[in-house]
Amino acid sequence: MNYTWATRTDVGRVRQQNEDSVLPDAGSDRSGEHLVAAVADGMGGAAGGEIASATAIASVAAVSAEVAIRIEAANLAVIEAASRRPRLKGMGTTLTLGIFHEDGHLQIGHVGDSRAYLLRDGLLTQVTTDHSFVSEMLASGRMTAAEAEVHPYRSVLTRVVGLEAGVEVEVLDIELAAGDRVLICSDGITTMIDDAAILAAMAGATDPGDAAEALIAAANAAGGVDNISAVVVDAG
């Protein structure tokens, strides 16, 4: 399997700094038979979010292992970074990581509410589950989608990289087919535009770079209240 990918990140229209970090580096448009891709959305004052996400991305890039081990290493790296600088106490990050193998196997590791989507034969599927208060309430039937959209705890995460010594990693395995398009993105996209708009941007683009840029443009047009990041990967 050969992969073609593009990575984009944008500060958005409201924030002063970008606390998202991405892998591969933003602006990279390349191809190859193997890829490690990730999006991390940091949180924490005094530049903590930016440091947390960058630390997590550097860690998963440096470790050669399956996704859960990489994310566990990232978790410890963020905790260690915070322990050295008291002003960074409490910083953390989401982390959604994909390892694209030569045989078409995609393994995803996921903590938080950054997402992975699969576009196949015109159908867009969210393959990760948000680790958030409202997502869990929705899944249990204790909250409606309309209630979730306006709930005061809608931004509260139930799993975060860097806050506790142990982190529970959601692991997913997907067998890709030629023609599939995969998106890994921060919630700067998914809180601004719905799945129909994500599908339109993904399906209407000729290549991963165009798709990533269309997603960022759509999120900014909708308000751009958060940092916006996307890694788009085509399987062929």
Q: Please write down the HEC assignment for all residues of 92-121.
A: EECEEEEEECCCCEEEEEEECCCEEEEEEC
- The whole-number pLDDT of residue 150 equals 66
pTM for this model (two decimals): 0.94
SS3 231: strand
**Could you give the count of Cα atoms lying within 13 Å of 43 in the half-sphere of its Cβ?**
19
Nearest to 126 by CA among 60, 55, 202: 202
pLDDT grade, residue 136 (50/70/90)?
confident
Mean pLDDT of 88-104: 97
Which residues, 6 or more positions from 210, have their beta carbon under 8 angstroms from its beta carbon? none
pLDDT grade, residue 86 (50/70/90)?
confident
pLDDT digits (tens, 9 = 90+) for 184-222: 999 999 999 999 999 999 999 999 999 999 999 999 999
pLDDT surpassing 70 at residue 46:
no
End-to-end CA distance of the chain: 6
pLDDT grade, residue 28 (50/70/90)?
confident
Name the one residue in this structure whose structure tokens are 């409606």. Answer: 144
Percent of the chain with pLDDT over 90: 84
pLDDT surpassing 80 at residue 147:
no
φ/ψ (deg, to 5) at 9: -145, 150
pLDDT surpassing 90 at residue 152:
no
The amino acid present at 35, given as its one-letter code, is L
pLDDT surpassing 90 at residue 236:
yes
Question: ∠ CA 125-127-128 to the nearest 5 degrees?
Answer: 140
pLDDT surpassing 90 at residue 27:
no
The residues that bridge with 174 in the sheet, in sequence order, are 106
Enter the CATH code of domain 3-233. Answer: 3.60.40.10
SS3 178: coil
Provide the residue ranges of all domains of the chain, joining segments of one domain with +.
3-233
SS3 160: coil
Which residues, 6 or more positions from 166, have their beta carbon under 8 angstroms from its beta carbon? 75
- Spatial separation of the C-alpha atoms in residues 79 and 81, rounded to whole Å: 5
- The whole-number pLDDT of residue 148 equals 64
